[in-house]
Amino acid sequence: MTGSPASLVTRWWRPALVVALAALAVIWRLVRADLGAPPNLELVTAATFAATILLRSRWAFVVPLAVTVVSDVVLGNTAIALFTWSAWLVVGLGSLLARNTTGWRRVGAGAAFGVAGSLWFFAWTNFGVWLQGRGVWYPAGVDGLVASYVAGLPFLRTMLLGNLVLVPLVAAGTLLVDRLEASHGMVAARPA
C-alpha cells in the first residue's frame, strides 16, 4: 500500500460522503409523503451539487439520475420518466459548471444552481406532462400548455424554496470539508 495516511483518507471519505448523501436523497424520495412533507421538497439537487464539489469529477453528473432511477423503480413512477430522468440528467450536467468554485462564491453558485435547477425541472417536466396528456389532462394547444404550467406552480414554489435553503447549505458544508482537509494537511483530488 502506498501513500500517506492523509492521502488514503481523501481517497475514500469524499466518495463515501457522496454515497451517503445520494442514499439520503433516495430515502427522502421514498418517505417524504409519509412524513407529511410537501410534494417536490427534494434533496436530489443538493446531493448533486455536493457530489460535484466533493468528487471534483465530471462523472458526478450521474448522481441525480442514479437517485431518481433507483427511487422511481421502488415508487413505480414511470408516467413521465423520460422527462424527469432527462431533467435530472441536465441538472447533473449543469452542476459541472460549479465544480471548481471556491470560498463563498461556492455558496452563491449553490443558490444559483438551486434556482436554475428548479426552474429547468419545472419547465421540462410540466412540458412533458402536457405533451403526454394532450387531449386527456390538458387541451392540446398553447392554452393546455399554460394550464399545465399554472397547475405546476405550487410544486415549483416548494422545490424552489427548498433548493434556496438546502443547496447553499450543502455548499457551505463543502467549504467546511475543504477547511477540515486543509487543517489536517490533506490535499483534495484533482478534477477528472
Q: Where are the domains of the chain?
A: 5-178
The Cα 137–Cα 91 span in angstroms is 27
The closest alpha carbon to 72, from 87, 60, 58, 59, belongs to 87
Model confidence at 188: pLDDT above 70? no
8 Å CB contact between 148 and 126 = yes
User: For residue 169, what pLDDT band results from cuts at 50, 70 and 90?
Assistant: very high
The Cα 164–Cα 91 span in angstroms is 15
Q: What is the CA radius of gyration of the chain?
A: 18
User: For residue 110, what pLDDT band results from cuts at 50, 70 and 90?
Assistant: very high
pLDDT of residue 8: 47
- Taking each helix axis as running N to C, give the angle between helix 62-75 and helix 44-55, from 0 to 180 degrees, rounded to the nearest 10: 140
Angle at 173 between CA 169 and CA 178, to 5 degrees: 150
Long-range contacts of 128-131 (CB under 8 A, 24+ apart): 128/80, 128/82, 128/83, 128/84, 129/80, 129/83
pLDDT of residue 191: 47
Model confidence at 4: pLDDT above 80? no
Calculate mean pLDDT across residues 59-88. 90
Model confidence at 87: pLDDT above 90? yes
Q: What Å distances lie between residue 58 and 67, 82, 111, 188, CA to CA?
A: 17, 22, 20, 15
8 Å CB contact between 86 and 147 = no
pLDDT of residue 178: 87
User: For residue 120, what pLDDT band results from cuts at 50, 70 and 90?
Assistant: very high
Model confidence at 7: pLDDT above 70? no
Instruction: Specify the pTM.
Output: 0.86
Model confidence at 10: pLDDT above 80? no
Model confidence at 23: pLDDT above 70? yes
Phi then psi for residue 182, to 5 deg, are -65, -40
Region of 76 on the Ramachandran plot (φ > 0 left; ψ -120 to 50 alpha; else beta): left
Q: Which residue has the higher pLDDT, 95 or 76?
A: 95
Mean of all residue pLDDT scores within the chain = 89
The closest alpha carbon to 17, from 47, 45, 39, 37, belongs to 47
Model confidence at 17: pLDDT above 50? yes
